[in-house]
């Protein structure tokens, strides 16, 4: 699918602000893919569709999670997590994208997962550092992203976990598992 067709499909699903965010994620993902030798077209498509389900009604997403037998613990955690796995499902069913690597990058762009592929890491990171994001520490992470993917992933996970803890919010177990997996992998290199 070409970029313009993909953007026109996704634009119908998003607010103007979220569409601008999506463009930023797309451009960042393509730049990271170029830097790390990843398939730029797959990065582009995964980035364009990463928030496809973001504004679907909560009840519709809940029903899909139940019907598709997605992890039931999703339902007891923050519903902000839901749009990623539901989005991967809907992108396949409604848009017809069947490339597993693209669908996995969409599915795990909020929670992460152990042993993420390079494409999954790129989408996860691009979503966090895209140029329209503005919060303390983002510049440091942007700079690190073009030097070392796994260290960037760990830094984002640390920031996210700390942010959720400060807000007294539960942390999705897969996010903790992702952090532990990559920290232990980095530590084993030393």
CA-wise closest residue to 104 among 55, 50, 148: 50
Residue-wise pLDDT for 59-114, tens only, equals 999 999 999 999 989 999 989 999 999 999 999 999 999 999 999 999 999 999 99
Block residue for tokens 């504004």: 55
Residue-wise pLDDT for 142-161, tens only, equals 999 999 999 999 999 999 99
Q: Domain 3-188 sits in which CATH superfamily? A: Hypothetical protein af1432 (1.10.3210.10)
pTM for the model stands at 0.96
CA-wise closest residue to 38 among 139, 165, 145, 190: 145
């Amino acid at each position: 699918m070409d970029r313009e067709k993909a953007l026109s499909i996704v634009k119908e699903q998003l607010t103007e602000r979220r569409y601008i965010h999506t463009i930023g994620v797309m451009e960042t993902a393509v730049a990271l893919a170029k830097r790390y030798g990843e398939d730029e077209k797959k990065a582009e498509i995964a980035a364009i569709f990463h928030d496809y389900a973001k504004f679907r009604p909560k009840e519709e997403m809940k029903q899909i999670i139940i019907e598709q037998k997605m992890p039931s613990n999703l339902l007891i955690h923050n519903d902000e997590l839901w749009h990623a796995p539901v989005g991967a499902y809907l992108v396949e069913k409604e848009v017809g994208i069947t490339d597993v690597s693209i669908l996995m990058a969409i599915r795990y762009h909020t929670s992460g997962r152990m042993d993420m592929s390079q494409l999954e890491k790129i989408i996860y990171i691009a979503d966090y550092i895209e140029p329209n994001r503005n919060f303390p520490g983002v510049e440091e992470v942007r700079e690190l992203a073009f030097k070392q993917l796994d260290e960037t992933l760990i830094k984002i996970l640390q920031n996210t976990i700390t942010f959720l803890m400060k807000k007294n919010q539960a942390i999705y177990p897969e996010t903790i598992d992702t952090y532990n997996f990559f920290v232990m992998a980095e530590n084993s290199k030393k």
